[in-house]
Structure 1
Amino acid sequence: MIKKLTCFLILLIFVVGCKEKQQEDLSTIQMVSSDEMEELMQQEKTQLVDVRTEKEFESGHLIGAQNIVYDENFLEKLESLDKNKPVAVYCHSGGRSEKCAEILKKAGFKKIYDLEGGITQWEYDKKDTVK
């Protein structure tokens, strides 16, 4: 009887662990090119987030982007976003947005896109920005 109970508990722990891993895997981060980002921007449900400083944002940003500065309060600022809608993030060259994408994933956002090369690549590809 004790062996059966022990086997049952081990199986239960394994199943619960696998279920938690599946929940984590539901969140994905995908690097996208400037062309792919442009397509994402056409979709109303995609939330576009610029994680650069306010000064950088004011110097030029992607059309429709909201500025959520990556700083010590970043996690709190994410409360304005819908975790069930896709989020596309970018920064100057990709470093900050990569960190932010990981934070978004840990915070429970389901689908996260990160602009490869940041706004630097975007401008190099001669894509439009606004001031």
Structure 2
Amino acid sequence: MKKLLFFTIALSLLLVSCNSSSENIKVLPPTDFNKAVTLEDNSILQLIDVRTAEEFEVGHLKDSQNICVTEEDFEEKVKNLNKDEPVYVYCKKGGRSARAAKILRDLGFTKVYDLEGGITSWTDDGLEVVE
């Protein structure tokens, strides 16, 4: 009986922690992501391409800045962003941006939006990139 009670409590805590951990991160499909960044005031838009500089140079979203999540200074660079304004992140297919989104959330950013499927799904949907 004690084992069942312990298991139930542990499972409940796990589910609650999983729910709250993604609370400030929203994964948006390309069309919704495009609408969101288009509606943002360009003077405060925080659109981050978390790929390498080489990938960024090949093509990126308009008005994005490149802060590579695999670089050692990623956390230091994103600390210059406004934690109270939305931050939009993307990578090639979604893996690195998910990692970046979690780091941003852990640093206290309150509104983090991740492009579902990355720039690959963006271009597959016929949306524009800057070369």
Q: Same fold (TM over 0.5)?
A: yes
Aligned length: 109
Show CA shifts across 1:92-119 (max 9, x none): 0000000000000000000000000000
Listed as ranges, the gaps of 5+ residues in structure 1 are 1-20
Q: Counterpart of 1:112 in structure 2: which amino acid?
A: V
Segment drifting more, 75-84 vs 48-57: 75-84
Give the TM-score of the pair, scaled to structure 1.
Answer: 0.78
Alignment partner, residue 41 of structure 1 = 37
Show CA shifts across 1:53-101 (max 9, x none): 0000000000110000112211111122110100000000000000000
Give the TM-score of the pair, scaled to structure 2.
Answer: 0.78
Alignment of 1:26-37 (within 5 A): 28-37=24-33
- Larger CA Rg, structure 1 vs 2: 1
Q: Counterpart of 1:54 in structure 2: which amino acid?
A: A
Alignment partner, residue 11 of structure 1 = none
Distance 2:115 2:28 in 1: 5
1:129 to 2:115 alignment: no
Alignment partner, residue 108 of structure 1 = 108
Alignment partner, residue 78 of structure 1 = 78
Q: Counterpart of 2:59 in structure 1: which amino acid?
A: G
Listed as ranges, the gaps of 5+ residues in structure 2 are 1-16
